[in-house]
Amino acid sequence: MININNIRVFTISLASPIVLASAIGCIDDSSGVVEPTFEVPIAVATGQQYSCAIQDSMVSCWGGLYSYDLDEGATPPAIPSLSNPRAIDAGNYHTCALDDAGVACWFAQDGGDDLGQTDVPATLANPRAIATGWSHSCAIDDNGVSCWGDPAYTAVAAGLVNPTVISAGMSHTCVIDQSQVSCWGDNDVGQLDAPTLSNPTAVATGISHTCAIDDTGVVCWGGFDAFLTTVPAGIVDPTHIVAAYAHTCAAGSNGVTCWGAGDETPNPDIPDFIQFGQSIDQVDLLGVSTMASSFWHTCVTTDEGVSCWGAGDFVLDLDNINAYEVGQSLVPSALQRP
């Protein structure tokens, strides 16, 4: 692990998967044994091929180029110096964080088109929430909502009064405003057509579908197929929700429930290449505090640390590497309670 200016990058060498981490200890008076002090991560983010978390006022990233020298001589993507980061979100190839100085964005993977999605506007005033899409980024500040990046998706919906929650998908963005959900961007399959909701508290935007949590539970709309928006029964007291390419997950008092591709149930309508176990329920994950999902994997934070599942959850055979399995679900041990 590299730790410079409140930034941690977990690296895995070509020779062997080794994660290095420093630890601060405390002494157990009863036994004299030094026990490591564990700082609970406060936020997690998922890009297409990588993941990041905030722990102890530092950003840690793993997977993709953060963990593997996929190209000879490659170095981990640079992360800007941050001051007490408190929120983080990741798009396709870029990441944004909210800290004491405002919003900072950076590219985290090769291959993305630079459409200005990391060029944070200087006009942001006291930003308090961020969201990243495929090639655009947004923030809620004292002026309302500002978006930058791909101009096709940065024209914010008119008439917003007091937006409080924001989520950006591949090509659309949604906010909670005045106790309803308002969206803008692509609407080719109805992902902008939010139904009338009862006191929504969370909204999630995927590639082509949108979901929200309100007084009635989980509600989803849009989507290139009905399996994305058919919410399973049995989600108890949902608090968090994420939507990705072909799966959705919601956290409640009975753990994390997921649906869509990757549930290990054969479905002729779902391509095999997106079956990575990303829709397997995680009933043991209780007390979820933050949640993030990308194309083929999902991560959450709890008091026990960061947990991820889906693509990239095993040590790679570097002789047979592919674009889907690049360690994005291999959570470093420093981010999990001993």
Sign of CA dihedral 211, 212, 218, 221: negative
In whole angstroms, give the CA distance from residue 323 to residue 92.
Answer: 13
In whole angstroms, give the CA distance from residue 125 to residue 1.
Answer: 34
| pLDDT band at 268; cut points 50, 70, 90 | low
Over residues 154-189, the pLDDT tens digits come to: 999 999 999 999 999 999 999 999 999 999 999 999
In whole angstroms, give the CA distance from residue 250 to residue 237.
Answer: 10
In whole angstroms, give the CA distance from residue 88 to residue 95.
Answer: 7
pTM: 0.86
What is the average per-residue pLDDT within 36-63? 94
In whole angstroms, give the CA distance from residue 149 to residue 132.
Answer: 10
Closest by CA to 90, choosing from 257, 279, 290, 271, is 290
CATH class belonging to 2-26+34-335 = mainly beta
| pLDDT band at 314; cut points 50, 70, 90 | low
What pLDDT is recorded for position 327? Answer: 83
What is the average per-residue pLDDT within 255-273? 70
What pLDDT is recorded for position 269? Answer: 57
Spell out the SS3 assignment of 53-81.
Answer: EEECCEEEEECHHHCCCCCCCCCCCCCCC
